[in-house]
Each structure stands twice: as C-alpha cells, then as structure tokens.
C-alpha cells in the first residue's frame, strides 16, 4: 500500500514541479519524473530519519541556518 501511495503522490508532485519550474513535458515524462523524484526523496528522508543522531541534527541545523539567512537577506537588506 505505501508503494501505491508513493505512486499517487509522485504523479501529483511531478505535475506541480513541472508547473513551478515552467517545464513543458509530455504526460508520461511528467509522471515518470514525479514518481522517480518521490522515490528518491522518500529514500533520502527515510535515511535521514534513521540516522537521527548527529548527522540528522547537522542537516537540520544547516537547513535552519539556510532558511534564516535567506529570510534575513530577503527582508532585512
């Protein structure tokens, strides 16, 4: 069942990603890229959650710092 859910999410994400990035692809390519992206993203996220130690904390800290610096550059400067 999780695999079917991943396929459904992949189709939706592929459609949204092509619209956000303004890429004109045919339907099978959009679906394939969305599903592949969902698989890769799911594996990476599961790997980060499984590490749940120093590595995940480091990644979380890095992402937090990146967002904070982006917000500072966008709204303060």
Q: What is the pLDDT of residue 54?
A: 57
- List the pLDDT tens digit at each of the 77 positions of the chain: 677 877 787 788 878 887 887 877 788 887 788 788 777 777 777 776 776 665 666 767 777 778 887 888 888 75
Q: Write down the pLDDT at residue 16.
A: 83
Give the pLDDT confidence score for residue 43 in this predicted structure. Answer: 74
pTM for the predicted model, two decimal places: 0.55
Asked if 10 and 38 touch (Cβ cutoff 8 Å), the reply is: yes
Domain that residue 52 falls in = 2-75
Total of domains in the chain: 1
> What angle, 0 to 180 degrees and rounded to 10, lies between the N-to-C axes of helices 54-75 and 27-51?
120
Evaluate whether 17 touches 34 at the Cβ level (below 8 Å): yes
Contacts of 13 (CB under 8 A, 6+ apart): 34, 37, 38
């Amino acid at each position: 069942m999780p695999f079917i859910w991943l396929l459904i999410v992949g189709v939706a994400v592929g459609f949204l990603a092509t619209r956000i990035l303004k890429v004109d692809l045919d339907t099978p390519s959009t679906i394939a890229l969305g599903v592949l992206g969902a698989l890769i993203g799911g594996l990476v996220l599961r790997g980060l959650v499984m590490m749940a130690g120093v590595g995940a904390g480091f990644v979380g800290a890095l992402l937090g710092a990146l967002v904070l610096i982006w917000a500072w550059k966008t709204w303060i400067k």
